[in-house]
Chain A
Amino acid sequence: MPRLLTDPVDLTGLVLADVRGGDPVDLGSLPGPAVLATIRHRY
């Protein structure tokens, strides 16, 4: 089962490009709440 960590992590300064050419997203400015799903490899 996954470990659940509850200490807050500041995402300020993380600006990532949209893979389909959309506007870059500043994760530090994400209005909440939102879910971030980070994947492993693409295959």
Chain B
Amino acid sequence: MATEAGRDVPVVAVGFDDAEALGLLADHLGWTSPFLADPDRRLYARLGMRRAPWWRVWSPRTLAFYRRALRRAPVPRPVDPASVDVSQMGGDAVVVDGEAVRRWLPRTPVDRVAPAVLVAAARGERSDGDVNGAQTESM
């Protein structure tokens, strides 16, 4: 995604693991844009990205997705699997001048919005809920 979208829209990745582990992941992915560490999950909290209940984390669809992903591109295994917080959800946002103006909050771990949709929204192209394939809500 960084290489596709980063040509005209900056894409900043954020993870909650420690910086060293995330650095290895960034190298593994060939990520060329900024990759930030948020170990206290302050950004996650501010954007409303919470932990998912177990029935969403361990759903058959999620397990199938990760099985396929591991076959395609294995990633380094954790030193201590018990330390991995699999319940923390991620998500995506468009930021304009220091404000997140659109946030996509997944309902399951594999429920992410397409990169092309994010880039289009950031460019100010059509970004209503129907076009995004997401239900629009405001809080």
Contact = CB atoms under 8 A, between A and B. Distances in A.
Interface of A: 1-12, 14, 16-22, 25, 27-43
B53 interface: no
Contacts of B82: none
A2 B105 CA distance: 5
A16 B38 contact: yes
Interface of B: 1, 5, 9-17, 19-26, 34-38, 42-44, 46-49, 75-78, 84-86, 88-107, 109, 111-113, 118-119, 122-124, 129, 132-139
Contacts of A21: 23
Q: Which 8 A-B pairs have the closest CB atoms?
A: A32-B96, A16-B36, A4-B134, A2-B104, A19-B22, A33-B122, A9-B100, A28-B98
Contacts of B106: 2
Given A19-B26, A43-B77, A34 B122 contact: yes
A31 to B, nearest CB: 7
B47 A35 contact: no
A38 B92 contact: yes
Given A5-B48, A19-B15, A42-B15, 19 more contacts: A1-B133, A2-B91, A3-B104, A4-B129, A8-B99, A9-B103, A14-B43, A18-B34, A29-B98, A33-B122, A33-B123, A34-B10, A34-B95, A35-B118, A35-B122, A36-B95, A38-B15, A38-B93, A42-B22
